[in-house]
Structure 1
Amino acid sequence: MFRKLINLFFGLLILAGASLFAKTLVDSREPLQAKPRSSEPPLVQVHRLEQSGADITLQTHGTVQSKTALQLTSDVAGRVLWVNPELVVGVILEAGTAIARVDKTQYKLALAQAKLALRDAELSLADAHTRFKTRNPRHPQIRRAEAQVATAEAQIKKAETDLARTEITLPAKALVASKQVALGQYVAPGSVLANLQTVDAVEIALPISPAELELLQSASEVEVELVSVNNDKLLWSAQLSRVNQQLDRNTRVAYAVAAVQEPYTLTPPLRIGQFVKAEISGIRLNDAFRVPTSALFENRFVYRVLDDSTLQRVTVELVRQDARSVIVRGQLGAGDRLVLSRLDIMTDGMQVTVGDTP
């Protein structure tokens, strides 16, 4: 019993000493200094605007078409006695090439009859002069005979024209699109012999949106470059011929029409029916800026960093957008710093730290 009391006493003594030692350590520690909490402005990357003005290139596509389509018809009636063997679909024929010949027998006969009628009329006129000219130079018989001569001369001209038209020739250099005439076929005036497309010039109708139409009309000097869809190395220069003001009823797009002169003399030739891409350049907006896409927020405003490193929100008009940049109009100026970074909270007057300007 006595031993237990002694062990308890020494245990309490050790605990008291340990507590006293711990209190001494705590009391001897230097007091902690309270420091105010600091908040650094968020870091943002900016884009500095250069001089105003933005160049725009419209990208579109279209199919090469002949500027003029010809429907070759017969002006006379008769049986076709000869057809040019070169009249084949897809072949280009020179102007003046004979296409077909119609039987001219009846037209030779008509010419001979017209010449005979002229001789009879001239004899009648001579007889009228002999009988009536001394009494009345404008006697009705003389005037009637003169009219008969004029009619006969007109009939001769018509007969000669009809005879010449029995050989049907091509009025312009053209590509044969279709052929309807055949050897031995009987044709009447107005019968279609072939459909052709002239190759002196071609046009390419290029679809553009109504917004692009407005941009195009504001440009003064426009250049059009055509590129082959199958080979980007095949290029052709074209001229903007006109801009159609009517929108397509089905697609609601407008068409800018590009023209190329003598397309088959180019190297390589630009062929009718070829599908090409087109780049329309030369459009410049002097009151707009091209900025990175990340500078535009909600497609309607940007944040500008002021000289005191605070933000200012500026409402802008989105004019055009591509993969890497946008063109905007608004109360902006050269030298402005636009925020590219995306922060959780961005408000007018917010303090920021500007990083290196790219």
Structure 2
Amino acid sequence: MRLPAFLSSKWALPGIAAGGLLVLIAAGKLASGPQHSEQQETPLPVEIQVLTVVEHEPSVSGHGIVKASVELQQIAEVAARVVWVSPALVQGAILAEGEVLVQLDDTDYQLAMDQALAQHKMVNAQQQELLSSEVNLGRRLELVSEKVVLAEKELTRRQQLAKQGSLSQSQLDVEQQKFIGLQQEQSSLEQQLDALPSHKQNLAAQLASAEATIAQQQRNIDRTRITMPVNGRIRSVSVEVDAFKAQGQVLFEAIGMEQVEIEAQFSLEKLRPFYQLAFDGQTISHLSLNELAEKLKNTGLRARISLPVAPGEHWQGKVVALREGLNPGSHTMGVVIHVDQPYGDIVPGQRPPLLAELQVDVELIGEVQPLVSVPLSALHSTASGQALFLAYPRANTKEDNSISHRLHKQLVTPKLLSGDHALFTAQQLQSLINDKAELVLSDIAPAIEGMALSAQQAELKPEMVLGE
């Protein structure tokens, strides 16, 4: 058997050896598996916001029911028949103070008034007669007193004559009787004059009684004319023409329009931190509700009221009191707020009046303070508590330029949750601000400590910086 020419040549053995070496090298590479290049870290794109101390109004939200500050029942103050009812007196009508609404029959009271006036006139006449009698009695007493003096002198003279025998006893007796008669007349006049003061007092009392009766009947007559007691709205009507109304029966109910009252309910766990901020860090945990309410009146605390059915419309209110104790059903605290002119600036279809029984949203607003405001969406719940996701500038300058920051999770406790923001004092976050940490606004899942970030500054909305 002949071998191929290649195998019989002098180059056969070296060629076979070289081929085997190449096969071994290729097999070694195949056995070692694929080769991996060094893995690169991919940063997560996020939006960030600078932590900034700004002037912010701390606030806390609650809800309440509107009721009128003035609620009244107009009753019949005298018993009488209804003779007229104003067409304007209907439920829901808005009426001005002083407008005449109901007229009761005043005939009986007019007759009683005429009788009292006649009595007054009669007593007046008696007083005038008494004054005239007093003058006449005084003059008569003066004349009689003079006659008594003269008669006494004449009697003394005649007694001297009788002793001398120049005058008979009978003539002396006549003169003596004359003197005694004048004395009796003088005494009678003096008694009549002495009795005059008591007569005057009696007539004065009768006159006062007549005047009181006149005043009383005039009040009764005035009470038959029923007017609107305040600027207000009619809640209900209970009167009709020809109906007899006894004294004390209700004619209509009305509510005032000058002011309304709202008892707003606030969660105590939110209210206490808010007060702490509103009072600029002063210790208030030891204060009673009365002391806290009194302290409220001396601060710039105000209330802003809004209606769910009228978005964008607000009414300003004034905090006047705190209710004693907690509401047993909702475990909230009541804050009493007054709102003036609840019917002012009404715009049909846009701004309604603050009517009684309406449910409203109430926001207590404190004085402007330097605070750090963080959107609630940037406050995260973790296994260890609430935390902010912060972006710290990268420390290693040799890293990929696409990595701008590294993630850090910072546990925090807000001073107050106000609307859709969490508020912190400058002292709470000052170290973060000094380290130039910035707030991560984007939602990160999962959030891994130290993960690479590619951060971009977010466009700040006004409400993210300043409270309204």
Q: Deviations for 1:145-167, whole angstroms, at most 9, x for unmatched residues? A: 22221221111111111112222
**Is 1:191 aligned with 2:249?**
yes
Partner of 2:329: 250
SS in 2 for 1:75: coil
Partner of 1:9: none
**TM-aligned CA distance change 1:168 to 1:60, over 3 Å:** same
**TM-aligned CA distance change 1:284 to 1:15, over 3 Å:** farther
Distance 1:70 1:220 in 2: 32
**Is 1:145 aligned with 2:203?**
yes
What's the offset of the Cα at 1:240?
1.0
What's the offset of the Cα at 1:61?
5.2
| Map 1:79-118 → 2, pairs under 5 A | 79-118=81-120
- Structure with a larger share of its residues in helix: 2
Distance 1:262 1:25 in 2: 93
**TM-aligned CA distance change 1:138 to 1:261, over 3 Å:** farther
Amino acid at match of 1:144: N
Amino acid at match of 1:289: V
Distance 2:28 2:100 in 1: 123
Amino acid at match of 1:48: V
Distance 2:344 2:411 in 1: 53
| Map 1:277-288 → 2, pairs under 5 A | 278=361, 280=363, 283=366, 286-288=369-371
Partner of 1:331: 428
Distance 2:316 2:23 in 1: 96
What's the offset of the Cα at 1:141?
3.1
Partner of 2:152: none
**TM-aligned CA distance change 1:189 to 1:264, over 3 Å:** farther
**Is 1:290 aligned with 2:389?**
no
Unaligned runs of 5+ residues in structure 1 are 3-12, 29-34
What's the offset of the Cα at 1:77?
0.9
Partner of 2:240: 182
SS in 1 for 2:233: strand
Amino acid at match of 1:290: S
Root-mean-square deviation (CA, aligned residues, Å) is 4.4
Q: Give the count of matched residue pairs.
A: 335
- Which of 214, 239, 245 is the equivalent residue of 1:156? 214
Q: Deviations for 1:184-211, whole angstroms, at most 9, x for unmatched residues? A: 2221221110111233344455443335
Larger radius of gyration: 2
Partner of 1:7: none
Partner of 2:417: 320
What's the offset of the Cα at 1:75?
1.1
- Which of 255, 259, 262 is the equivalent residue of 2:339? 259
**TM-aligned CA distance change 1:258 to 1:112, over 3 Å:** closer
Between 180-189 and 117-126, report the one with greater CA deviation.
Answer: 117-126
Distance 1:41 1:271 in 2: 57
Between 266-275 and 306-315, report the one with greater CA deviation.
Answer: 306-315
Amino acid at match of 1:84: S
**TM-aligned CA distance change 1:265 to 1:117, over 3 Å:** farther
Partner of 2:455: 356
Amino acid at match of 1:97: E
Between 290-299 and 133-142, report the one with greater CA deviation.
Answer: 133-142
Distance 2:26 2:209 in 1: 143
Distance 2:206 2:81 in 1: 32
**TM-aligned CA distance change 1:184 to 1:339, over 3 Å:** closer
Is contact 2:57–2:366 with CA below 8 Å preserved after alignment?
A: yes
**TM-aligned CA distance change 1:24 to 1:173, over 3 Å:** closer
What's the offset of the Cα at 1:48?
2.5
**Is 1:240 aligned with 2:317?**
yes
Between 239-248 and 280-289, report the one with greater CA deviation.
Answer: 280-289
SS in 2 for 1:263: coil
Is contact 1:61–1:275 with CA below 8 Å preserved after alignment?
A: no
Q: Deviations for 1:28-48, whole angstroms, at most 9, x for unmatched residues? A: 9xxxxxx9x899798795542
Distance 2:318 2:196 in 1: 59
Distance 1:64 1:87 in 2: 24
SS in 2 for 1:113: helix
**TM-aligned CA distance change 1:128 to 1:332, over 3 Å:** same
SS in 2 for 1:356: strand
SS in 2 for 1:86: coil
Partner of 1:8: none
What's the offset of the Cα at 1:73?
1.0
Is contact 1:319–1:327 with CA below 8 Å preserved after alignment?
A: yes
Q: Deviations for 1:32-79, whole angstroms, at most 9, x for unmatched residues? A: xxx9x8997987955421124444555555555433222111111122
Amino acid at match of 1:170: M
Is contact 1:295–1:338 with CA below 8 Å preserved after alignment?
A: no
Distance 2:370 2:344 in 1: 42
Unaligned runs of 5+ residues in structure 2 are 2-12, 30-35, 139-189, 280-298, 396-405, 458-468
Distance 1:63 1:242 in 2: 15
**TM-aligned CA distance change 1:291 to 1:44, over 3 Å:** farther
What's the offset of the Cα at 1:180?
0.9
Q: Deviations for 1:290-338, whole angstroms, at most 9, x for unmatched residues? A: 2243354535344666678585845433521655x43234621245414
Distance 1:314 1:172 in 2: 58
Partner of 1:6: none
**TM-aligned CA distance change 1:281 to 1:249, over 3 Å:** closer
**Is 1:220 aligned with 2:316?**
no
